[in-house]
Amino acid sequence: MAWTALSGLAPVYPLYALLFLDTGLSPAQVSGLFALWSVTSLVAEVPTGVLADRWSRRGALVLAGVLEAVGFVLWTVAPGLPGFAAGFVVWGVGGALVSGAAEALVYEALAAVGAEEEFVRVQGAMTATELLVQVPTALLAGVLVEAGGYALVGWASVGVCLAAAALATRFPETTPTGDDDGGPGLRAAVGEALRRPSLRLTVVAVALLGGLDALEEYFPVMARDRGVPTELVPTAVLGVALAGAAGAALAGRLGRLPSRALPVLLAVSAALLAAGALAGTPVALAAVALSYGLYLAVLVVGEARLQEQVPGAARATVTSVAGLGIELASLLVFAAWALGSALAVAALFLAVVPITWSAFRPTPRPGAVPERR
């Protein structure tokens, strides 16, 4: 969790959209940069998972920190469309490296000491930390940009990323069993995710659930549309993020509930989001916050269900397959918002409920009594 907090402290995170605009880019060019970032992540997602399985999961996290630092160096020394684009490509590859390797490393480390059942709690704490760290990051960004402009913010972000990479070198390396040349190939690993129906369904469910998190991009829009003054929008959005952190932190307890509770909670989350969409007052954001907290709790449990089923040798790769699905599923959220704003996204939440009903089943251990449904 210390690595999660440190890697999320780069002060450029809450400012990079403003950096692009203040450098002279048009809104269309900024959108193009985001699209380039997304496409890079899509292309790199599964190959970087294979790399982590065949080479080193710890090494993948170290390399990810270094690549992100390189991306921010490019932004700082060459501010402009070409430099920003190159930085996003490098950062996109680094983010893809983290996607599969981080969960695989944590799960295998817990499995090594017989504590696999703790993964849902640890994953929930990590997700909560990612959200909570937005508070000091925002404060740090404000201080640095006031003191030294975007250049100081950029170099501080480089230092944070390199520090996170250095910290990752201290992680225990996991050594899953694989084939003779160091792990499954790309075709074999992807086939592993598709061969077993239960695993395939769980991958699809986690991909769809993870894609719903793209709604986060619209929280500022929802706040302002519901009458929150522009200067108070960051505070209102932070409240939603804190509710999400609380939900993620409670996922460990939620994981002990019967599996049928998960789709029910997702349905409640959809209903709360719909209520927040229909109401036009700032108070409606409370319903959105509760919805987001419940959603993240279900997502964390779903991620744990996936790790319980994935073969160790292909863990990072299969997790990256789910990550690829998340990137694709996020496009559904963007399309739903374009068609009907938050209410359409709430309908999308509901559409995922039947899949979670089928997918999130406990993995019985040898000799265990199956859960009654």
How does DSSP assign 158-203, residue by residue?
Answer: HHHHHHHHHHHTTSPPP-----TTSS--HHHHHHHHHHSHHHHHHH
Pairwise CA distance, residues 169 & 159, whole Å: 16
pLDDT score recorded for residue 75:
96
Region class of 183: left (phi > 0), else alpha (psi between -120 and 50), else beta: left
pLDDT score recorded for residue 85:
96
Q: Is residue 372 part of a domain?
A: no
pTM: 0.75
Do 64 and 166 reside in the same domain of the chain?
Answer: yes
Q: Residue 38, exposed/middle/buried by CB under 10 A (0-12, 13-18, 19+)?
A: middle
Q: Residue written as tokens 């499954």? A: 184
Domain boundary among 146, 175, 204: 175
The pLDDT tens digits of the residues spanning 73-112 come to 999 999 999 999 999 999 999 999 988 788 888 888 888 8
Q: What share of the chain is helix, strand, coil (3-state, %, to 5)?
A: 80, 0, 20
Do 3 and 25 reside in the same domain of the chain?
Answer: yes
Residue 290 lies in domain? 184-360
pLDDT score recorded for residue 156:
95
Q: Is 321 in a helix, a strand, or coil?
A: helix
CATH code at 24? Answer: 1.20.1250.20
Domain boundary among 115, 143, 175: 175
Q: Is residue 251 part of a domain?
A: yes
Q: Answer yes or no: are the C-beta atoms of 356 and 297 closer than 8 Å.
A: no
Label residues 95-133 b or e (16+ Cβ within 10 Å = b): bbbbbbbbbbbbbbbbbeeeebebbbbbbbbbbbbbbbb
Do 245 and 207 reside in the same domain of the chain?
Answer: yes
Do 156 and 190 reside in the same domain of the chain?
Answer: no
Q: Which residues of the chain have pLDDT under 70?
A: 1-2, 4-5, 174-194, 230-231, 361-373
Pairwise CA distance, residues 235 & 267, whole Å: 27
CA distances from 238 to 18, 212, 214, 232, 250 (A): 18, 18, 16, 10, 18
Q: Is residue 328 part of a domain?
A: yes
Domain boundary among 133, 149, 175: 175
pLDDT score recorded for residue 174:
64
- Residue 265 exposure: Cα atoms within 13 Å on the Cβ side: 25
CA distances from 110 to 55, 61, 147, 358 (A): 20, 17, 43, 27
The pLDDT tens digits of the residues spanning 142-193 come to 889 889 999 999 999 999 999 999 999 998 876 554 444 444 456 665 565 5
pLDDT score recorded for residue 67:
96
Do 215 and 84 reside in the same domain of the chain?
Answer: no
Q: Is residue 366 part of a domain?
A: no
Pairwise CA distance, residues 338 & 136, whole Å: 33
pLDDT score recorded for residue 182:
45
Q: Is residue 126 part of a domain?
A: yes
Domain count, the chain: 2
Q: Is residue 371 part of a domain?
A: no
Do 6 and 86 reside in the same domain of the chain?
Answer: yes
